[in-house]
Structure 1
């Protein structure tokens, strides 16, 4: 079996069937990720353009507007009133999770397509409501890894039987959250964030496991721990095990207070796949495929997965392609996460 064939066109956009018209985007919420990652990615995207900024901080918005040459800046009240609706086709919601629903509801009422940051909402019920109100527009959950080449090539290899039958997935994502945020951050407030490390970081390995296996788990068990303030209201560390219909398992870990790292390992009956630093935002493209005595190692230039995500969103809007990370995907993950929290509280395995 020629393992190197997965590297021949490693960065190809296998999802792209044609060029599409430019989608004008209103960016809602101007936190660090929106400023440092999303807006530059939209600027560099092939099919997207940021035309409106929506923020509760006029000075922050004005500074960005000048730097990025974006003409329209409005506050949240004006957005809900429909101001500047003629200047954008879709919205990108980058506020904390508890506020996602209200901005999505307004967008749907205005007939605007929606790309919403993960998790889709702070609760499963919130995600359910978002899916229900968005039936007439595209609703995409911002699972950027699903558009990232290394993850897509891994899924192709699994589907092709390169590693035999998948048996186990081991993945984890950890960071020292207090190095880039303060103890009063919304990320440590369960009413706003919906949870802690599992909700904020653990959703990456969880959703990626489902994507790679193309299946939903049938049961979940979990443990969460916290050492005390400022993590006393949320899970500081989380470990989740998912059981899938054909017996595969996925062990997903997350931490708000551990050495920064992320990793992904898929073990099969005949081989394995390994990817270093898959979840940190800048994938190194260092991927290893092993089958029996055959070993292939690829290291290539990184691809901006956020830029890929926005172009994928635009492509979903203008073509018949089925969105692989739609609102149903975000809702399913929240159902699993809420079951995981129940499993951790009751020390039982929860059936899904």
Structure 2
């Protein structure tokens, strides 16, 4: 594959093979900051989904949000679980704290609604299996909300790796840090292990973990991890984490994540014949900057930003409308939880943990 071919159609939607009619009506379950600031605008700007209901623990306050996005209905959690107005949506987007993903995803699936659920699917792999089983039993689409799998820069990186442009992958470096307390207070649910299932690894480290698996199209055979917390308010979860993934093809991936460091993210893949560097892939808005070295050739791409959240919801809607299985399905989410649990085991024991 010539580099010019990749760069000339950089933002193409290679997954969009047809133009289905209609839209998927979405109920957004959990109207927190990300849902208000990123998801709802992205759905409104997209092509294949529309928001027809909001589900919130504070329906009176949520009505203002509903009005600003022209959403016709607001439900509380009790009404949603009871199935009230279930005929007004075809699918749900679950954006609640991690520990209650399963409750709302399973309830939706049992009523025949498709599900797009924020990562991680649940706080443990065992609990997430309940979501996967419920969606399979109901024959509805389940997508784990890994938006970077629909983001053009990451998809182009996978194409380059597939085409051996940089040879065999030997090393991958991925990192994501974000000063959590700058945007929230110390009472945020992300610092409650019962609600979050973990700390920096679960909330931030899952981005390089899943993205590396996606780009390499492979799952790790082993993991070694260390965690550190300096004290309150991070004493109940991992404030910082470093983990190494080992793949059967001899590639290794070194990853870091932090709740208490300058905002930064990076992804670099080093092969036997070159390397790929993606600028700031995990920070929420990928700047569409990539540097590729292949032998003696070095090329840089810089293009207009693409809203990966819009791409994510359009991809989900497209999959539902065309009866296509999404790549970041429920089983993809289960693998990440298996790796996360093994990483925590490694951090506790100080030993490498093998993965099936």
Structure 1 length normalisation: TM-score? Answer: 0.99
Following TM superposition, by how much is the alpha carbon of 1:104 offset from its aligned partner in structure 2, in angstroms?
A: 0.6
Following TM superposition, by how much is the alpha carbon of 1:200 offset from its aligned partner in structure 2, in angstroms?
A: 0.2
For residues 61 and 250 of structure 2, the distance between their equivalents in structure 1, rounded to whole angstroms, comes to 50
For residues 119 and 156 of structure 2, the distance between their equivalents in structure 1, rounded to whole angstroms, comes to 23
Between the two proteins, the alignment pairs up a number of residues equal to: 352
Aligned to 1:250: 253
For residues 70 and 43 of structure 2, the distance between their equivalents in structure 1, rounded to whole angstroms, comes to 13
Aligned to 2:169: 166
Deviating 4+ runs (over 4 angstroms): none
Aligned to 1:10: 10
Counterparts in 2 of 1:97-246, with a 5 A limit? 97-135=98-136, 136-246=139-249
For residues 59 and 162 of structure 2, the distance between their equivalents in structure 1, rounded to whole angstroms, comes to 49
Q: Which shifted more, 64-73 or 168-177?
A: 64-73
For residues 155 and 249 of structure 2, the distance between their equivalents in structure 1, rounded to whole angstroms, comes to 22
Residues 28-72 of structure 1 show CA distances to partners (whole Å, capped at 9, x for unaligned) of: 000000000000000001111000000011232111111111111
Q: Does 2:343 align with 1:337?
A: no
Unaligned runs of 5+ residues in structure 2 are: none
Aligned to 2:23: 22
For residues 11 and 248 of structure 1, the distance between their equivalents in structure 2, rounded to whole angstroms, comes to 28
For residues 321 and 89 of structure 1, the distance between their equivalents in structure 2, rounded to whole angstroms, comes to 16
What's the secondary structure of 1:46's corresponding residue? Answer: coil
Aligned to 1:326: 329
Does the 8 Å CA contact 2:29/2:92 hold for their aligned counterparts?
Answer: yes
RMSD: 0.8
For residues 340 and 163 of structure 2, the distance between their equivalents in structure 1, rounded to whole angstroms, comes to 30
Structure 2 length normalisation: TM-score? Answer: 0.98
Following TM superposition, by how much is the alpha carbon of 1:148 offset from its aligned partner in structure 2, in angstroms?
A: 0.2
Q: Does 2:309 align with 1:309?
A: no
Does the 8 Å CA contact 2:23/2:321 hold for their aligned counterparts?
Answer: no
For residues 61 and 176 of structure 2, the distance between their equivalents in structure 1, rounded to whole angstroms, comes to 30
